[in-house]
Structures are given as C-alpha cells and as structure tokens.
Amino acid sequence: MARYTNMDFLRFLLFEVHPIKDLFQYERFAHLDEEQAWMMIESAKLLADQEMAPFFKDMDENPVKYDGKGNVLTHPCLKRIITESASQGWIGASANFENGGMQLPEMIFSTAHHIFQAANNGVEGYLGLSAGAAGLITSFGNIEQIGTYVPKIFAGEWQGTMALTEPQAGSSLSDITTSAKPLNAEKYLINGQKIFISGGQHEACSNFIHLTLARIEGAPLGVKGISLFIVPKFRVKENGDLEYNDVYCAGDFQKMGQKGYATTHLSFGDNNDCIGYLVGEPHKGLSYMFQMMNGARISVGMCAASVAMAAYQASLQYCLERPQGRIAGEKDPSKEPTLIINHADVQRMLFTQKAIAEGALSLGLECNKLYDLTHVVTGDEKHNYWLLLEILTPIVKTYSSEHGSRSAALAIQTLGGYGFTTDFPVQQHYRDLKIMSLYEGTTGIQAIDLLGRKVTMEKGNALHILAATIQKTITEASQDPVLKELAEQLANDMKTIEKVLTKLYGYSVQGKIEQYLSDATVFLEMMSFIVIGWQWLKMSISARKKLSAPGLSVSEKQFYQGKIQTSEFYCKYELPHVSAFANTLLNEKELTNIKDFPIFD
Amino acid sequence: MARYTNMDFLRFLLFEVHPIKDLFQYERFAHLDEEQAWMMIESAKLLADQEMAPFFKDMDENPVKYDGKGNVLTHPCLKRIITESASQGWIGASANFENGGMQLPEMIFSTAHHIFQAANNGVEGYLGLSAGAAGLITSFGNIEQIGTYVPKIFAGEWQGTMALTEPQAGSSLSDITTSAKPLNAEKYLINGQKIFISGGQHEACSNFIHLTLARIEGAPLGVKGISLFIVPKFRVKENGDLEYNDVYCAGDFQKMGQKGYATTHLSFGDNNDCIGYLVGEPHKGLSYMFQMMNGARISVGMCAASVAMAAYQASLQYCLERPQGRIAGEKDPSKEPTLIINHADVQRMLFTQKAIAEGALSLGLECNKLYDLTHVVTGDEKHNYWLLLEILTPIVKTYSSEHGSRSAALAIQTLGGYGFTTDFPVQQHYRDLKIMSLYEGTTGIQAIDLLGRKVTMEKGNALHILAATIQKTITEASQDPVLKELAEQLANDMKTIEKVLTKLYGYSVQGKIEQYLSDATVFLEMMSFIVIGWQWLKMSISARKKLSAPGLSVSEKQFYQGKIQTSEFYCKYELPHVSAFANTLLNEKELTNIKDFPIFD
C-alpha cells in the first residue's frame, strides 16, 4: 500500500497546532472528545486504503466516458465508494442531528476528506459536492425541500451538484442566461445550458440534484437578478414516484487529469418540461450559492494540498530507496552509489514539497477551525472569525493550487525520467492538480476577490484582524531564540504589506480602479507567502513546546525537529520572494492595461 | 490552421537580433544569403503545416504502443514525416558538403526544427536524434563508418539514437555496466540494458543505429572507462546484406506527454550475438558523446521554448476571441462583455508567456550562432565562443524547460476551464513540456554542471567572457533613455552575481564542496533570469533601431514596440526575483546536507 498522507502530521495539526479540543467546550460539539475524533479519522483512513487508493491509477487509465445517449459511464468502483462513504457518514456527518447528521466539526470532516483526496482525488469530489449541496438546501431551503432531498443525498443514493457556469459567461456570473418561468410561487420552468458540471449525471447514483442558478423572467440584470433553484434530474411526484425532469446530459468533457471525475454539459428544458424549485427568495440566489462556493473554495485548497501531499509522500519514498551517484566532492567511482536523498539538491526538492504541502494543509485546517468557530460563538467574536475566514479563503484556494502544482513538479523531478512515466503516480498528481487553479474561480478571480473585496471590506477590518492574529504568533515566537529569525522576517514582511497597500490605496483614492487591481495576482502571491510563513511559525511553536517536554521517543523528536527545520528552510528559500513581489507592486509603471493588442504579436 | 509560432519573430531574431549574415562572410557558409536562408525557413514552415501540425493531437490520443514482441507501433503519419523531412534536408542539411550535407548554419537548421517542435514536438525528436547521431559518427567515426551509416540516416531510412541511460545508473554515467568484449580492434560483443532510449526501435524506420556507451572488459572504473560504439539493430554484412544484430526492444514506456514519441527499453546481446563497432579510441567515449549531448541540451532548450511558444500562440488567439466579464470598475451589467484580453490579469499572463517563450528562443538562437561561429573562426576567437557556449548550455536547457512549464501553465489559465480539456491544445503542451527538465540531464545535473564546472573552468574565464558580453549590451543600451532602466537593473544584477560567487568561493576554498554546490539550482535560476534579461535588452536595442528608421508600417511599429514593452514587463515582474535568489544564496545556514532522514516525515 502506497503511503499517500502522514497520519502523524494530521494528529499534530488536530491536537497541537489547531487544537480541536477548543471546539468541544461548545454545546454543538460537546458530544465529542479527541479520542473519538481520532477514531473517526482512522476509520476514514481505512476506507480510503481499502476502497479509494486501489483505484487511483485505474480510474485515470479508464476515464469517465459519455455514451452519446445522455449517460456518463463511470468506473465500476464508484458506486461502492459512494455507498460505503455515505454509510460511514462522510457525506452528511457535519450536518445537525435534526437533519440526519452527526454534528461533526468541519475540522474532522475535512481531515477525513483530505485523506480521501490524497488517496484518490477523482472520487472525493462526488462526496464533497453532495455534502455542499445538502448543506445549501439545509441552510436556505424549506422543510419540505430538506426532507425530500437531504436524506437521499446523505445516503449516497442521489448526487448533489452545483450548476453555475454557462458556455458564454464562464466566470462572469452576471451574464448567465438560464431562464426560470414561474408556474407558481415555488415551481419554475427552467431552460438553459450549463457546462463544467462536476459529478453531473453518471451511473453511480440514481438521481441528481442540481443546485442551479437561473434568472427569473423580468429579473434585474446582473448578479442581483440571479435566483437559486433545485433542479433534479428526476422530480418527485406527489405520490413519491420519480419522473424524468428534462435535464439531459449532453456530453462529458475529456480532460488532462481527474479523468475519473465526470465533468458534464447539462441541458435543461429541451422539451420545455424541466421544473426548478426555488430556494429561498427570488434574486438572492448568488448570495445563497456563495455558502457552497466558499466551502468549495476551501475544499479545493485542501484538495490541492492533499494531492501535493500524496505526491510528496511518493517522492520521499522513492528518494529513500533509490541509490544513484555519489555526493558532491566524492570522485572515487569504486565507492558504492549513495541513496539520492543524500544529494543536497534532492533534499532541497523534498523540503520545498514538504513546506508547500504541509503549510497548505495547516492553513486549510486553520480555515476549517474558523468555520467551526463561527458556528458556535456569537456576536463580535463570531463576526471576527468570519472576517478572518473571508480573507483567508482566496489565499488557501490559490496558494494550495498554484504551489501544489510546483510541488508536484518537484516530485516528478526527484524521480528523474521515471517520474514522467505512468509507472509512478507523481505524473498523475501533477496532471490532476492543474485543475485546482481553475475550479470555483480561477486564480485571477481569487486575486480580485482578495484585493478588491476582502482587503477593503469593513474599512480593512478583515485585514486588520489577520494582521493582529499573525502578530500574536510573531510575538509568541520572538521569545524563542530558535524561532526568532522567522518571526523577525515575518514581522518585516507584515510591514511590507502595509507599504504596498499604501501605494495601492493611492490609485484607488484617485479612482484608478483598473490600476489598483492590475497586479492583484501578484499581491495575492505576496500575501500567500506570508500567510504560509505564519503557519510554519505556528507549527514550529507547537513543535518547540513538545521538544521541551520530557519523555519523547527518538522518532517523535525527529518529527518535531523536522517541523522546525522546514520552517527554517521556508525562511531561507521561500520568504525572500516576498520582497520581489513587493518590488513589482511598488513599481508604478502601468504595463498591463494596454488597448493595442498587436503588441502581443 | 492553428498558429503555433510567429514567423515575424523568427525573422527578427535571424536578421536583426542575432544577424545571420555575420556567418555568410566565412567560406563555410559563403554559398548562402539571407534570402535563401529565409526560403528554407519558409519551406520548413510549409512542411510543418502540412505534415506535422495536423497530427499533433492525434498522436497524443493514439500513443506509441509496444506489441509485446519487440516492435513499437507508431502513428501511421510518422514514416511520411521522416521521409519528407529527410528529403528536404532536415536531418542532414547542416553537415559538410562532402558528407552529403548542405553546410547549413545550425541557426537555420535549428530555426526549422523550432518550427517542427512548435508544430508537433513528438515528431521532431526523431529527426533531431538522427541528425545528432550522424554528426557524432562524422566527427569521430572512421571513413567506412561514415560511409555505411550516415547516408542512410540522412535519407531517413535508418534512425539514429543515443543509448546512455541504464536502469541502475540513471544520471550517474560512471556507473554504467553495459559491457564490450573485444573480437578484434574494431568489433566488440555488446551486452547490457539501456532504458529511456528515445526513438528506439519503431516501425517507421528499417534500421536503428544506436550510439551506445559501454565498458570494454578491464577498462578503468568510472567515466574514464567508457567507450562509444555504433550498435545497429541490423548489422551490415560484407556483401551489403543486413542481418539481425541481437538488439531487442523489450518495451516502451508509457508517459504523461510526448505520447507519440517512442521511449524504449533496449536489450543488447540476449543471445550473445550483438556486435558493436568502436568509435574512435577506447575509453574516450564519454567525451565523444558529449558532442551529441551538448547539442541535445541546446536542442531540448529550443524544444521547450518552442512548445511554450505554441502554447502562447494558442493562448493569445483565445484571448483575442473570447468575450467575458467587464473591465475592473465597470459595474453596469447591461454593457456588452469585453474580450478577455482587456483584463489586466490576462495581459499579465500573456506578457509572462511572451517574455519566457521569446526570451528562451532568443537565447537558443544565440547559442546556435555561437556554435556556428566556433566552426568558422580559429584561435582565441574560437576558444572564446566555445567558452561562452559552454556556460550558456545549462542555462538555455534549464530556463526554457522550467519556465516553459510555467508559461504553459499560464496558457491553460487564460483559457479557464477549457484549458484543462482536450478540446484545446494547451493542456497537451503543458504535459509534453514536463519531460524537458528531465531529458539529457535533469535540472539538478545542469546546475552542478554550471556551478561546479562551467563557472570554474579555466579560472572563471567562461564567466568573465559572459559578463563582458552582457556588459557590452548594457553599455550600448545605457545611452538610450527608454532602455536605461533595464540596463541599470541588469548592471546591478551582474554585481549581485559577483557578490554571491565571492560568498560561494569561500566555501570552496575551505574545501566545503558539498556546501559550495548545495544551492547550485538556485544559482542557476538566478543566472538564468539575468541571461534572459540580457536577451530582452538585445531584442530591445534591435527594436529601438528599427523604430527610429523611417517608413515603418503600423503593424511593424506595433511589433517592435511589443518587444520594448515586454522587456519593460520583464524588468518589472521577473527581474526582482534575482535579489530573492541572491538572498537565499547569501544565507549561510546549511539546511540541505542532512543525514537524519526521518526529519522529512
């Protein structure tokens, strides 16, 4: 069995870096303790070992196929995976008791899903989408809707999806044209095309509940005229029977990665008989959808980190087994070849992967904990956690995706030519990962979200709270001679953010919105490096605490020492690029608002 | 027909930035002029349009297959491609007249091959390998060997290959074990296994001439005991008939990219009847092979740049046609969506791709010109060109590969979700590109070559010549108010190299060879950014000259203006990272010479 994640590391995150026990003091989670939490994580690992990891390669080599007649044929393993996962609670477990859930913290739910993503990222999406869709119905649907759809979704019988994207609109949701014609206050006739619908209509589930954005006839233009509908493939008649609801799967996109994961084109209402059930109030669909979208963004970030982690584990295993060459300076060819992990450049590539994958996962759990906290506290405290989560969402999504790809490229590199062959999984990780910077808003969209909305929201309050939170970690670490350097570096980098924002606000004040946002992606890159540095500092503080306690085994000592060494690595090799990004951002030359396109020829 | 390269840009490089006419003054190339050169390039374009580009996607979707019986089945188009290319001279044209060539400069030959690589990188390798193998035989083989093999290879009937890598040795050539037992002074019995043999045995050619490294019985250990052999699949009997030479193709590697390009496992002498013909003197094989290897490294650099160029062209075309969203600050949803090229972030991604692909191609042609010059001048001049080529080789190979991948990732990103689907070519470019950082010495190997050999060779003479050459360009540009900023930035960066090397030499002087080489890859990254900056400065100088001349058309003005704007972009967005790399290199903390591997857990 290939090792695709590191259980010790998950334990470290859950019990030391982001102590989950902080949650158990609240009523919502009072039925849980650490031991139970860990048992659930271990059962998720067993499930992934037995049902998911074995099919990772095979699902890639036998991709999802469209039969030309409305059906998407998936790998035979999928039905069992969905059913088993559902029966263990990995679709519905974070829901309230009264909705059939186990009231699990997202921290536990996401950690289990991390394991699934690392084992086989092509199957986890089916589960995650169903969980998100059910969550959306629960939050904004009426009692009847909840009762009709949620239990079936939780059971893994029906698949939930999110249906936003249209061919002509892409990321620009204000331009969606799928129409909804009222039949009565709740029922509408839906007509339109949706593309890139993950988990669309396939043979492993018997019904599909598409959470669909559409425009009610006469609605205002733009995003303020978008409503949310439940559009099932088969609608439930009053007697409980199902009848076809005119949602036709018109095709499946073939892709460079995630080949086991259906990416469908859906056509609603070709025969004018597609009924959508309005969720909540008209025209408020986009704000509802953003509950699912925000969750999906964090989940994509986690998934990217998880795939990078799996690639790192495969890379590490190879480096520990493969002898080749001799260390620098050793010229004697009669000496036995050394393991490649002894080469400094290989260690550099391993540390880089570890810094990215573990740093991104730590940030993912930070976000999940914030999410959980917003559900148990109230007032200002709740609002502040929410603000922090809002500003971290584009960062966890983008850093994990973009640098996850870089990390997987290094995994290939450590295997040399073998890494490019299908004999090893790292090339699949690399291919699968590429979608993550596109899912649920591309990197460019995330960057505009960060600089255009999150940094400025409530007069910069989200950013202030983030800065204060990071400062708290820096202050704690500054006392420690070993962590001082990283702490000081981060403190400097926090000043760099201020300097950069002062410059950028200047454009904004002058009404130069285009210029203010031009380099939003560079700003996001810069912020990400700092936020991941903060996570490494947090991990190092936890590691230092453990190291100062008596009675550690040799392997435990090495584990904690590894955290500190990776944070030193991060400080030497990654953080220096913060200044480079800042240099770009402080440079006033406006180069990317050109109207004269032949320049690009 | 998809546009996969930019002929105006090639003309600019050949006639203005790296004037090819400098070569025509020498006797070797005196039979040529610019007009003839360009006619050849245009005929190569026609060939690529008609015979190569149409099969780019199909070769990916119908990969090379091994039949289990020693045969590699390739795409049916391949035979015709090889025959047509051969008949137009694109295997043998750079050889001397007396060897059946057209005595073409490598600049022309490589520009034609760039077009092939951009059109269909999976087929160009077959041609390039044959050219390299024939060149190697011509340089070091005897008259009989040249007469027996070279004409058949030039005709495209026989395929040349380079057979270095063995399963147990990988990049460590000193550990190869393929053996050669002398039958007489020229003939040896060969026995061993070679893997990753590109263009190995396939059905599009009738014979295979493997340039094979092996160890003559009793030879010294290490690289000083390696000899070079011609090992054909079918040997030529005295009467001219062919007989099987016991070279069995034992398999073909399946890969994530370049799926149309055979990557074989060859078994020599399973029946003890494999004859190899010694090339040159015993034990000098590695130095001979490095003629082909150095050529191949430049060619891989060119190929990576070419694929990045093709991805850029596809990306640009999409951005010019796809309407989506509105520019920042435009809130009115009733306004028509804008072309995505109007978004600043899309322009940033296009400029980044242009900076990488064009910068890398320019450096590739710089190297080819140096190669040509070493063949026409003598004495110190020749030696200096050779030194410059030696130090630039690891840079062109690595920058193009590593940043070519980054560039293709951005090409995907500009297409959004579509970029991940097989409906568009950019995902294939991205997959194909990943092999480039592994071919002919991984990035880590190139880095050690640069810092461990090239920087120190002849007491730093290669580096001094490079620095003086770059300084000449800087001095020329400093006079120009528009180019001053980039010139000054590069001048500063040149000082940074000095500072970094002073620090690194310190380790070397103390005998700390491991530490000296630990961050060789970071050093290579730093150098690459500067060298590409130098190419952009050269291109900008040429563009400024053209812009000051009268009579330019609007599109010509835009073309040259585009060069200057891309160089400004490079200065703002890319060059700042030189300081970041330098920071890492100047940091004395030794983090990647760890002996305690559980740290990585």
Report the pLDDT value the prediction gives residue A327, as an integer from 0 to 100: 87
Tell me the pLDDT tens digit for each residue of B356-396.
Answer: 999 999 999 999 999 999 999 999 999 999 999 999 999 99
Query: Distance (Å, rounded) from C-alpha A547 to C-alpha B594?
Result: 19
**What percentage of chain A carries pLDDT values higher than 70?**
100
Tell me the pLDDT tens digit for each residue of A253-298.
Answer: 999 999 999 999 999 999 999 999 999 999 999 999 999 999 999 9
Q: Name the residue in chain A with its Cα closest to that of B443.
A: A413
- Say if CB A308 and CB A362 are below 8 A apart: no
The answer to whether the Cβ–Cβ distance between A412 and B555 falls below 8 Å is: no
Tokens standing for A567?
Answer: 């944070």
DSSP A69: S
- Say if CB A134 and CB A154 are below 8 A apart: yes
Query: Per-residue pLDDT for A426 more than 90?
Result: yes
The answer to whether the Cβ–Cβ distance between A517 and B434 falls below 8 Å is: no
**Residue B554 to chain A, least CA–CA distance (Å):** 10
Single-letter amino acid, residue A397: K
The answer to whether the Cβ–Cβ distance between A344 and B593 falls below 8 Å is: yes
Phi, psi of B159 (to 5 degrees): -100, 130
Q: Name the residue in chain A with its Cα closest to that of B520.
A: A345
Kindly state the average pLDDT of the residues A18-31: 98
> Average pLDDT, whole number, for chain A?
97
Tell me the pLDDT tens digit for each residue of A546-579.
Answer: 999 999 999 999 999 999 999 999 999 999 999 9
Q: Which residues 390-419 in chain B show a CB within 8 A of chain A?
A: 405, 409, 412-413, 416-417, 419
Tell me the pLDDT tens digit for each residue of B130-139.
Answer: 999 999 999 9
Confidence label for A582 from pLDDT (cuts 50, 70 and 90): very high
What are the Cα distances from residue B204, in Å, to B37, B157, B163, B199, B262? 30, 8, 19, 10, 11
Query: Per-residue pLDDT for A171 more than 90?
Result: no
- Say if CB A401 and CB A356 are below 8 A apart: no
Q: Which residues 437-496 in chain B show a CB within 8 A of chain A?
A: 437-438, 442-444, 447-448, 452
Confidence label for B327 from pLDDT (cuts 50, 70 and 90): confident
Query: Distance (Å, rounded) from C-alpha B35 to C-alpha A110?
Result: 65
Q: Which residues 148-177 in chain A show a CB within 8 A of chain B?
A: 165, 169-172, 174-175
In A168-271, which ranges are continuous DSSP H helix? none
Report the pLDDT value the prediction gives residue A330, as an integer from 0 to 100: 84
Tell me the pLDDT tens digit for each residue of B31-45.
Answer: 999 999 999 999 999
DSSP B73: E
Closest-CA residue to B582 (of B540, B507, B527, B506): B527
> Average pLDDT, whole number, for chain B?
97
Query: Distance (Å, rounded) from C-alpha A95 to C-alpha B534?
Result: 59
The answer to whether the Cβ–Cβ distance between A169 and B576 falls below 8 Å is: no
The answer to whether the Cβ–Cβ distance between A580 and B584 falls below 8 Å is: no
Task: Closest CB to A416: pick one of B350, B438, B596.
Answer: B438
The answer to whether the Cβ–Cβ distance between B452 and A255 falls below 8 Å is: no
Residue A419: its chain B contacts at CB < 8 A? Answer: 438
What are the Cα distances from residue B561, in Å, to A534, A589, B193, B213? 43, 16, 54, 50
Tell me the pLDDT tens digit for each residue of A211-239.
Answer: 999 999 999 999 999 999 999 999 999 99
Q: Does B90 touch chain A (CB under 8 A)?
A: no
Closest-CA residue to B89 (of B103, B69, B79): B103
Task: Closest CB to A413: pick one of B169, B443, B452.
Answer: B443
Q: Does A185 touch chain B (CB under 8 A)?
A: no
Report the pLDDT value the prediction gives residue B1, as an integer from 0 to 100: 58
Tokens standing for A396?
Answer: 């966890």
The answer to whether the Cβ–Cβ distance between A337 and B573 falls below 8 Å is: no
Query: Distance (Å, rounded) from C-alpha B256 to C-alpha B435?
Result: 9
Tokens standing for B97?
Answer: 């007249």
CA atoms within 13 A on the CB side of B21: 8
Q: Does B257 touch chain A (CB under 8 A)?
A: yes
In B341-456, which ranges are continuous DSSP H helix? 344-374, 379-414, 426-433, 443-448
Q: Does B76 touch chain A (CB under 8 A)?
A: no
Q: Does B596 touch chain A (CB under 8 A)?
A: yes
- SS3 of residue A107 by DSSP: helix
Tell me the pLDDT tens digit for each residue of B554-579.
Answer: 999 999 999 999 999 999 999 999 99
Residue B569: its chain A contacts at CB < 8 A? Answer: 591-592
Tokens standing for A440?
Answer: 């649920």
The answer to whether the Cβ–Cβ distance between B601 and A174 falls below 8 Å is: no
Report the pLDDT value the prediction gives residue A1, as an integer from 0 to 100: 58
A 10 A CB-CB count for A239 gives 5
Residue B172: its chain A contacts at CB < 8 A? Answer: 324-326, 337
Residue B434: its chain A contacts at CB < 8 A? Answer: 409, 412, 420, 427, 430
Q: Does A524 touch chain B (CB under 8 A)?
A: no
Q: Name the residue in chain A with its Cα closest to that of B309.
A: A601
- Report strand pairing: B65-66 vs A207-216: unpaired
- Say if CB A582 and CB A527 are below 8 A apart: no
Residue A521: its chain B contacts at CB < 8 A? Answer: 345, 348
Least confident of A326-330, A334-338, A452-456, A526-530: A326-330
DSSP A220: P
Tell me the pLDDT tens digit for each residue of B450-500.
Answer: 999 999 999 999 999 999 999 999 999 999 999 999 999 999 999 999 999
Q: Does B573 touch chain A (CB under 8 A)?
A: yes
Phi, psi of A491 (to 5 degrees): -60, -40
Task: Closest CB to B337: pick one of A172, A516, A583.
Answer: A172
pTM listed for this prediction = 0.98
For B22, counting Cβ atoms within 10 Å of its Cβ (0-12 exposed, 13-18 middle, 19+ buried), the class is middle
- Say if CB A90 and CB A116 are below 8 A apart: yes
∠ CA(A202), CA(A203), CA(A207), 5° rounding?
Answer: 75
∠ CA(A39), CA(A45), CA(A49), 5° rounding?
Answer: 145
Task: Give the ipTM.
Answer: 0.98
**Residue A94 to chain B, least CA–CA distance (Å):** 30
